[in-house]
Structure 1
Amino acid sequence: MREQKGLSEDELSDKTGLYVWAIKSVESDPNYIDSWCLSNIIELSKVLCIPIQLLLGVKTDV
């Protein structure tokens, strides 16, 4: 998703306030996001312009 937005890991880190290693970790293992606090997930969602549910892998259609 980051690459689709044309952002490097460093740029995403700057925009979200997250460490580069955290971004690398979640890109290599999406389950790593489960250990993040909600405010970081919300910030990543905002910067990438994607729903939080997508980041968390939550099924949204019922």
Structure 2
Amino acid sequence: MSASEQFWIVVFLAIVIGVICGHFIDRRRKRSVEEFERKRRERKEEVERAARKSL
């Protein structure tokens, strides 16, 4: 196997690993955004309930 073939195999493996890692990082980011939005909505509802009670 020549140095050129070894280089292209390494490049290919790096791309595959990059795509897989990117997929998992994106899933985690989406989950984090959804969790943040859920907490924000819950806090907003809590504030609205407290405001209604105080009236």
TM over 0.5: no
- Computing the radius of gyration over CA atoms, which structure comes out larger, 1 or 2? 2
Q: Which TM bucket (shorter chain)?
A: under 0.3
Higher helix share: 2
Length-normalised TM-score, structure 1: 0.22
Length-normalised TM-score, structure 2: 0.25
Structure with higher RCO (Cα < 8 A, 6+ apart): 1
